[in-house]
Each structure stands twice: as C-alpha cells, then as structure tokens.
Structure 1
Amino acid sequence: MGTDHPSLHEAVVRFTQAQQAHGVPAGTIKQYRLVNNRLAGRFQGRQVAGIRESDLADFLYGDGGILVGRGPKTGTSYRSAINALFRYAKHKGWIRQELRCPKSPFRERGAPHEIAPTRLQEDELGLLIEKAEHPILRCMIAVAASTALRISDIRKIKLSDIDLQTGDLYVWVLKTGRFDALPLTLDLEEEIRRYLAWYTKDSAIPTAERIYLFPGWSRRNAAGTGYVYYVPDPTKHCSYMWATERLKALLVSCGIHLEAGEAWHAIRRSVARIYFDRLRDEVSHDHALRETMVFLGHKNQETTERYLGLQAEVAARNTRLRGQRFLTRSAAGAVRAIR
C-alpha cells in the first residue's frame, strides 16, 4: 500500500485508517466504509485516479445503482461518504482535482407517508408488567413504563447505577452522550426491589459477577449429553433480540396489536403521551410540551410533537373542518355556532 497510485480498494483502506487515527466516531467510520467498499467492489482493480464523475453517476443512479429508489437523506449520506474519500485522495496527491458525486438527474423518492404510531393506555402498560413471567422482562418493562428510556439504554443499566437510598437511577443516555439522574417513582422502586430479591437470591448468580442489572446469556454444553443450554451472564448486558422477541410474544398473549416494526419504542411513545396529557390538564399546552421534551431528552420540540402524535391530531382537525360549515344558519337566516 505504499504506492503513490493506489487502487480504489487501497484508497478506501487508507482513508479508513486515517479516520480512525483522527478519532472520527466509529459510527461514521462504519457508514463511510460500507459505502466506499461497495464503490471499490464495483470498480475492482481500478486506480483511484482513474475514477471519473460518470463512473460515480453510474454507480449511484445507473442500472442497479445503490441510490435507485432511495430517499433524499440516504442520497445525501452516501454522497458525503464518497466525497470525503475523494477529498482525502486529493489531500494525499493521488488525484489532481477533487472529484465530487453528481446530484441525481431524477427526483429522489421522498419519505413514505407515516402511519399513526400505536399508543398504549395505562391499563395496557400495567397488563404487560403483570403478565410478564420472566423477572428480567418484567423489570425491563417497568423501567421503560416509568422512565420512557430507550431499550438501548435500559439494557446497559448497571447495578451500581441504582441508588435506592436517594431514589435515583443514573443512566448513560447513548443518544445524547451524557448521564441523566432519573428519579425513581414509587411504582418503579417497588418493581426494582422485587426484581433485586430474585436477582440476588433466586438466580444463583455469584455476587462478584453481578455487573449489569439485566444480564445476558452464556451458552453451556451439558457434559456427555450433547445438549446445549443457556445461563444468565451478568458480566454482559441483555441482548436486544432477547428483549424484543419476548416483548412481542407478550404483546400477542395480551391481545395488544402493534404495527410492523413497533416494539419497545411504542412503550416510550405511549409513556410520553400519558405524561403530556397529565401535564396538559394541570398547566398550559406549551409548558406541558416543553416538560415532556425534557422528560424524553429531546433537543427540539418537533421531535417531541412527533412522538406525542400531535400531527395526527392536526390531521383530524383538518378532516373535521375541511369542506364543512363552521357557522350554520338557522331557518330564519340567523347565524349560530356549531355545538
């Protein structure tokens, strides 16, 4: 790879190494590498200096192009990855002029129409907790229903994050990159104490190994039988697949229907709406919206409105009023308001 005229594949490898050396976030590195590796696979054996704008256009928008049928945001993301690669190539002197991806000659498909998300009622959330047979699943649902935390954050809660003396739950929120000290509600404290009784007494897990609140599972082989079984392993956290598969099965057993692709996030949205509705009865709409935004850890109000499903309420208003009389006339011609 010491050549001054690297192949496209070599350029991708060296670009990725440079990103890692400069501390680029791992998620960005992974995304850029996936896109640029596909580009290198399309033009195997070609030097980076031999790639032309027409090649990029064909790769993105031609027959079987990776952006055919994709939305505008995906197009922007893919072009950014490729542009960054060729910007680095220009910096290294592998190409004379910086090469940039052309915009699509066609109108990129917009975002699909969003369906109204499912919102669970308080009694349905309570039913899920009561019907969850496994202690791990029950407590995870209780945490989600009392904090509106994302499942990615719930799974990684450690035993040391819980302080029952002060009534706080310290959570590292992955999306915001900061710790948040959440107050334990009375309901959640009772559920956690119940769960810890099982975790510390009935699970037979050695105390020294208890790191994560919701343990993962390790595979074991039964000696001389060929059978495989799994045991709780609190040195690693519970997997997303384990938690999601069991939640979906529980929803079915409780007769609760969710749309395709909905699972733990339906609980988060539902809790947010319950919280908002309670506040709205006590304070102003705007105050309730701002406090719910803080409750969810959102950075902007628009995201919170989407979670609360307020767009659906706006659509319902428009349907109710469009083409209808807002003021009706009596037989005598007097105007009277609709009741």
Structure 2
Amino acid sequence: MNAPFPAPETAADDKTVTARPPLNLLIAAPRGFCAGVDRAIEIVEKALERYGSPVYVRHEIVHNKYVVEGLKAKGAIFVEELDEVPDDAPVVFSAHGVPKAVPAEAKRRKLLYVDATCPLVSKVHRQAERQIEKGRHIIFIGHEGHPEVIGTMGQVDPGQMTLVETIEDVDKLPFDADEQLAYLTQTTLSVDDTREVIEALEWRYPNISGPKAEDICYATSNRQAAVKELAQDCDLVLVIGSPNSSNALRLVEVAERLGTPSKLIQRAAEIDFAWLDGVETLGLTAGASAPEILVREVVTALGEYRPILEKTITAAEEKMVFKLPRLLTE
C-alpha cells in the first residue's frame, strides 16, 4: 500500500521550484478516515488474520481504490453479490450497510459473515424499523443507487419507504398533509442541502416525524465545516477522494457553493499543475474514505512544484472510536 507514486510531470529541479512563487497551503482538520471507516478496514484485516486468505467482501469495504487495492494485496476478494462467495469462505459486509435480505441469505447458507456496517448507519436502520412499527411511511433523503441508500431501504418491506433527493422531489410526493409520515437521511449528504429538503418536508407535512438529530454523521458534518472555514481564504480547493464517494463529492460542492473552485483527485498523479496558475492559497482536504498517506503524497507533489507554506485549519476535534464485532475480539 506504500508504493511510490509517479513524480509530477511538471516538477523541476530545486532552482526552478524556488523561483516559482510560494504556495500557501491550508489543510483541513478533521479530514480523511473517520471512526466507521477505520473500523471497517480493521474488520477485514482482523478477519484475514483470524481466518486466513481469502476473505470475501461484499462490495467495496469503503469507497477508495487505494484502500481496496491494499486489502486485495493482503488476500481480500471483493464481490458484488453473495452468490459469488463459496460456502466455506468468510464474508464481510461493507461499511455502507446491506439490505436485511443479505444477512438472511448468509444465515440460510450457514456462511460465516462479519457485518462492518458503520454503527451510525446501523442507527438509521433501527430508526427505520421503529417508524414502521409506529405505522408511519418513511421519506428517505438520499442519493438513488448509493449502497447506503439500498441498504437502508432494504430494512423495510417494499413500498414502506420513498426516496427523495431534492426539494423538487418533495413537491412531487403523493401523500396528503395529514398522513402518518417520518423522514430519515443518508449519513453522507451535504448538511446544507439536507437541511433545505427537511425544511421543505416539514412545511408541506407539519406533522412529519423526524429523528432527534439529523442523521448526517459527525464525520461528514465536521469535514464539511472544515472546508467552509478554509475555502473562503483559498483560490482553489483540492479534495482527495473517489468519484463514487458521496462524502468526498459533497466536500467539492461545499467549496464551490462558497464560490471557490474545487477539484476531486484520487492521487497526487492526477494533479494538473496548470490548476495552480495564479493560485496563491490552496486548500486541501480528504473524504472520510481517504487515508492520510494520500494527503502527504499530495503535499509532497505540490512541494516539488512550488515552495509550500503549510498551515492546518481545525474545525473540530474527533475522538470517536467504534468497537469491533465480538466475533473478531473473543
């Protein structure tokens, strides 16, 4: 996982670098791995230690190619569906969560499975069950096709949950104002966008029931807050993350909403140094699935192009730790 990365094509010798104007680099904190991602990756690593290779993983354990490739090198095999897992092999469910039918099928086949669903996602699953028990139809705010959305909607019977993404979707809902409704949200959404959709729901359905606090996870909220703090002082913001990572894409949107251009990159090799023309202050952050080693890789590449004046912008302190499943600790 610590393989060297390609040197920037436009990097030059020391004299050329020092001749270029210094680059003020503001690095967001917190950034990168959250407690749920740390836990999910450790679950795969512990499963490999306990059961040996191969360990199967249903879907990407987290949305980051670097992490997935590293786990593949250790003996993990990633599959899309449970029927690709042999009967005698252990399987791990991804951090995004799975529909109820998946563990039910694993039990039917007597598979040894470990659930790496983030505890904050599991909390939303339990909330969905409770709302259905109370006879309410659930309006779920999320992005269609995202694994977390598929997993959450799969906690209840078909027809008991309706997905909305935008205020326009709220306007199209077929329910009467006095119907028994509740709302829940995907954990990795934009805090601002979600607030607007919730306000639209509450305006149209005054009696709608919601969770005590928004389901946007602490890590998503903190990373967006950090980008808000630094973006206003930057000419450009780089976000390290995968194109299929919801929380990384939201960080790009947060910066751009403040009027600051932003680029999503997966590795240092994807930086186009023409982006830095005219840039005096650059912001840098990483989505919750991106490891810190990729942040340092980007800083190194930038330093090979222009002299760096590095500063950390801290929006919150994170000390959250999630326990591993008993199956891997006993």
TM-score by length of 2: 0.19
Which one has more relative contact order, counting CA pairs under 8 Å at least 6 apart?
2
Q: Between Structure 1 and Structure 2, which shows a larger proportion of helix residues?
A: 1
Q: Between Structure 1 and Structure 2, which shows a larger proportion of strand residues?
A: 2
